[in-house]
Amino acid sequence: MDQFVRLLSKAALIEREPVDTGDGILLYTSEIHLLDMAGRFPGDSMSQVASRLGVTKGAISQTAKKLEQKGYLERISPEGDNKTILIRLTDTGMQAFSWHRAYHAVVNDRIAREFAGLAGKDRENIRQFLVQMEAIFDDCQETRNRITREMVQNKTAGP
C-alpha cells in the first residue's frame, strides 16, 4: 500500500507543478489540459470542452481568460451566436499544445513498453486493477461524506 500511495503522491506532485513549454511562461495543469482540448478538438465550444474535462463551464471560462491574457488562445463567438463561445489556439498556444503532445508521447511510450513486456494475463490483471481503482476513486467523495457523518454522530452520542 505504501508503494501505491507513493505513486499517487508523485502523480499529484507532477500535476501541481507548473511547466514552461519553452517560452518562459509557466502554465498550470488546468491550463495545459485546456490547451490540449483546444488543440485536439478545435471546433469545440467552451461548454463542450468543460464536458470533456469533467469540470464546470465557469472553471473553463476562468482558465480560458488566463490563457487569453497570456497569449495562448482566443475566445470567439460565431457570427450571429452570442451564446456560444469557441476557443482557438494562437501560434503560441499551438507551440504549447505541441510540447504537451511530445511530452505525453515520451511518457506514454515508456509506460506502453513496460506494459507490453508483461504477459497477457498480467496485463489483464493490471487493467482490471485499474478499473477497480477508478471505481474506488469515483466513490471517494461519498466515502468522505459517510465517514464525516459517522464521526459527527459518534461525537454527539458521547462516551
pLDDT at 90: 96
- pTM for the whole thing? 0.77
Do 106 and 142 lie in one domain? The reply is no
pLDDT at 149: 93
Do 124 and 59 lie in one domain? The reply is no
Higher pLDDT, 71 or 156: 71
Range of the domain at 132: 120-159
Do 147 and 109 lie in one domain? The reply is no
Do 46 and 93 lie in one domain? The reply is yes
Do 126 and 113 lie in one domain? The reply is no
Residue 79 pLDDT exceeds 90: no
Do 152 and 98 lie in one domain? The reply is no
Do 110 and 126 lie in one domain? The reply is no
DSSP structure class, residue 30: H
Do 43 and 110 lie in one domain? The reply is yes
Q: How many domains does the chain have?
A: 2
Do 88 and 141 lie in one domain? The reply is no
pLDDT at 158: 64
Do 91 and 105 lie in one domain? The reply is yes
How many percent of the chain have pLDDT more than 70? 99
Measure the CA angle with vertex 127, ends 146 and 111; round to 5°: 115
Q: What's the farthest any 2 CA atoms get from each other in the chain?
A: 67
Chain segment 7-66, per-residue pLDDT in tens: 999 999 998 999 999 999 999 999 999 999 999 999 899 899 999 998 999 999 999 999
pLDDT at 159: 66
Q: How far apart are CA 94 and CA 38, in angstroms?
A: 9
Question: Considering only CA atoms, which of 60, 3, 10 is closest in space to residue 36?
Answer: 60
Indicate which CATH number applies to the domain containing 52: 1.10.10.10
Instruction: Kindly tell me the burial class for residue 127, based on how many C-beta atoms sit within 10 Å of its own C-beta (0-12, 13-18, 19 or more).
Output: exposed
**Cβ(110)–Cβ(103) under 8 Å?**
no
For 2, the grid coordinates are 505504501
